[in-house]
Structure 1
Amino acid sequence: MVFSSRALRTATVLAAAAVTLTACGATGATTGSKDSAGGSFKATDCPAQPKTAWAKPADGAHTVPTAMGDVKVPADPKRVVVLDTAELDSVLTLGVKPVGATHADVASGFLAYLPKEKVAGIKDVGTIGSPDLEAVAALKPDLILTSKVRDGQRYEQLKKIAPTVMTETTGYPWKQNFATHADALGKIPEGKKAAAAYEKHAAQVTDALGGAEAAAKRTTNVVRFVEGADTRVYGCQSYIGTLLDDIGTAPTDVVKNAKDGLMTEVGPEQITRADADAVFYSAYGSPEKSKESQVTGGALWKNMKAVKSGHTFRVSDQLWLQGIGYTAADKILDELQKDLTK
């Protein structure tokens, strides 16, 4: 039986989606660190991350399977608009400068970890989750990248402006989302190269920690103080959780039992649940309004083993928790290696 290239591409992505759902639902799935002989000696207790499915490179205009159905995209889009931080990270990683992008709710507009020369000249088209559609249309884009969770309710309007490629969501499936972005941009080879470089970098961090066995004996947590909400400890199926899983450090119970695999929320009196061999923390909002100052200045925080051993590290919220992509991940891996080898 002969299948069309479109059918094969669609089947590939649907298969990847099935793997993702299986991984998210299989609470017993684990990934194991392996020694140099290939023998598994310790499961991380995090669900196995789904393998990224890459479409075949296309010649000319082609169809991309998306959360909203098949979308035909141009061969070499020149005027791309992105409506979230993950999409902005993706296009810049792939060497494409968008003509427009939404901004995060930060003073710097576009996230500060992105090189200034790469974001210079990009038109601001509104806030993430509420883009200015007139501003988007005025740029005459030939491709729009976003996600259903952000802009699904605006899909009909967006697709009238330009072909709109939406992934289902953001965060945990970021590697597969990146592959979809690469497909839409006609940058599959570049995408695979970026993914391979990341895997190599993660392995180098593991080696710097003494190898997979040594890394698996160390627990790490990422804590986020949030203005107007309880403090969050991020789970295995969060963006930052995948990075920790990729370098092979072990999750704590609060991570393994995170709601929907994403996060566990704790009040100030429960902050010791976030303790680990190393704790990385950030604040969304001011240190005072997010309760960072109050918690980190309190007795419970000061009594945690990570604090007593000097292994708590304040990190950039924009980089660690808002960026989501290979450019951000590369910088985070550098910081992980520096801090965990102190």
Structure 2
Amino acid sequence: MINKVNQRRRNTRKLLVVSSVLVLVSGLLAACSTNTANVQVAKQEAAAPTNSTDAAKNTAEQASVYPLTIKDELGHELTILSKPTKIFAPIMEDSLVTLGIKPTMQWSNGVSPQEYLQDQLGSVPQISFAGGLPSFEAVLDSQPELIILHNSYASESGAYEKYAKIAPTYVFKSATTDLNSSLRTLGKLLDESDKAEQAIKNYADKAASARTMLEGKIKGKKAAIIRFNAKGMFFMNSNYFSGYVLKHDLGFEQSDLVKDGALEVSLEILPELDADYIFLVNDGNQGDRYFNELRESEVWKNVPAVKNGHVFETSRDYWLSGGFIAHGKVIDDVVRFLQP
């Protein structure tokens, strides 16, 4: 009997020991699990940005297109290290403003800048192109971080080599020939591609709306633009400025005179002018002599468009400029002229 009792006591002690060991092991395992989890959390916290500013910074760094290495339309390679804030792009101020950017200096003919942009660029210093491209020193004074030249003349004249010593320099063959393409290029150079695409869409919508509104007055109709300057009277073709707007964006047909390559306008060829609508552009009042000579001519008074009251005097400021702001104003004028 005594032996059985002792046996039970020994068994009980064994059970207590085993239970204690199990409890201890469970506690150790739980502690290890907790520590591991804490370490993982700590690692995650250390890897994550400490605040929203850091997160924004990381996102901006990942999205940056710079440094950007690119070839211009003449084959020159340039590298832009960071987003430029000081830009010299004469004749392309319209496109810069479209992207929400002010240049370091703005183009001037020696008398005035592009007046239609002065609500945006009134405080921007002017640089004269009256004597041709500005000197190296004049451009250097504005300390540009990027120079953009709107056509190949700068390269042909040797100015490119000088300008490229000041800052990365991009040259277009002819930026005004295809505004969609040149604005997209500017958007890429300046990291404003979204704004460029939105501007292209907005202008296309505006042109489409005007075509619909004026369909009955444009379809099958021919237009001609006569430009007056100090050298005489000239037709503008459909390759640039307002000529491009009338032909490609609004859908007017060209007068046969212009289509066949006529450039200079003379009183002798006026009877051949087959345009339904004629738009007159006096280049900064430099063409007053020729402008008045034309209007006083009996030959002019017998041109069908003149007799029908389809001759319109326009603004040389934006009818002789390239850019979506200028082109939009040309569209507004045409709508006003044909639907008063």
- Give me the TM-score of the superposition, normalised by structure 2: 0.74
For residues 117 and 237 of structure 1, the distance between their equivalents in structure 2, rounded to whole angstroms, comes to 28
Q: Tell whether the 8 Å contact from 1:89 to 1:328 is kept in structure 2 after alignment.
A: yes
Question: Counterpart of 1:241?
Answer: 243
Change (3 A) 1:288 1:221: closer
The structural deviation recorded for 1:187 is 1.3
Question: Counterpart of 1:72?
Answer: 79
Change (3 A) 1:241 1:148: closer
Question: Counterpart of 1:104?
Answer: 109
Q: Tell whether the 8 Å contact from 1:209 to 1:215 is kept in structure 2 after alignment.
A: yes
For residues 287 and 77 of structure 1, the distance between their equivalents in structure 2, rounded to whole angstroms, comes to 37
Q: Tell whether the 8 Å contact from 1:81 to 1:143 is kept in structure 2 after alignment.
A: yes
Q: Tell whether the 8 Å contact from 1:218 to 1:250 is kept in structure 2 after alignment.
A: yes
Q: In structure 2, which of residues 194, 199, 204 is the aligned counterpart of residue 189 of structure 1?
A: 194
Change (3 A) 1:148 1:224: closer
For 1:158-178, what per-residue CA distance to the aligned partner results, in whole angstroms no more than 9, with x for missing partners? 011011111012432333222
The structural deviation recorded for 1:94 is 0.8
Q: Tell whether the 8 Å contact from 2:89 to 2:150 is kept in structure 1 after alignment.
A: no
Larger RCO (alpha carbons 8 Å, 6+ apart): 1
Taking only the aligned residue pairs, the percentage that are identical comes to: 25
For residues 289 and 167 of structure 2, the distance between their equivalents in structure 1, rounded to whole angstroms, comes to 39
Residues matched between the structures, number: 273
The structural deviation recorded for 1:65 is 2.7
The structural deviation recorded for 1:70 is 2.5
The structural deviation recorded for 1:203 is 0.6
Q: Tell whether the 8 Å contact from 2:241 to 2:327 is kept in structure 1 after alignment.
A: no
For residues 242 and 58 of structure 1, the distance between their equivalents in structure 2, rounded to whole angstroms, comes to 35
Q: Tell whether the 8 Å contact from 2:86 to 2:143 is kept in structure 1 after alignment.
A: yes
Structure 2: stretches of 5+ with no match in the other structure? 1-62
2:182 pairs with 1:177: yes
After superposition, residues 11-160 of structure 1 pair within 5 angstroms as 59-68=65-74, 69-83=76-90, 85=91, 87-105=92-110, 107=111, 109-114=112-117, 116-127=118-129, 129-152=132-155, 153-160=158-165
2:270 pairs with 1:271: yes
2:308 alignment partner AA: S
1:89 alignment partner AA: D
Question: Counterpart of 1:325?
Answer: 323
Question: Counterpart of 1:311?
Answer: 310
2:144 alignment partner AA: P
For 1:95-118, what per-residue CA distance to the aligned partner results, in whole angstroms no more than 9, with x for missing partners? 00111133124x3x211111x231
Question: Counterpart of 1:294?
Answer: 293
For 1:172-228, what per-residue CA distance to the aligned partner results, in whole angstroms no more than 9, with x for missing partners? 2333222222222111111111111111101111111136xx522221111112212
Question: Residue 64 of structure 1: SS of its match in structure 2?
Answer: strand
- Give me the TM-score of the superposition, normalised by structure 1: 0.74
For residues 121 and 288 of structure 1, the distance between their equivalents in structure 2, rounded to whole angstroms, comes to 29
Give the number of the structure whose alpha-carbon radius of gyration is greater: 2
Question: Residue 145 of structure 1: SS of its match in structure 2?
Answer: strand
The structural deviation recorded for 1:287 is 6.4
Change (3 A) 1:285 1:176: same
More helix by share: 2
Q: In structure 2, which of residues 212, 237, 254 is the aligned counterpart of residue 251 of structure 1?
A: 254
Change (3 A) 1:182 1:290: farther
For 1:127-163, what per-residue CA distance to the aligned partner results, in whole angstroms no more than 9, with x for missing partners? 1632132122122111111134342121111011011
For residues 284 and 77 of structure 2, the distance between their equivalents in structure 1, rounded to whole angstroms, comes to 39
More strand by share: 1
Change (3 A) 1:287 1:140: closer
The structural deviation recorded for 1:290 is 4.5
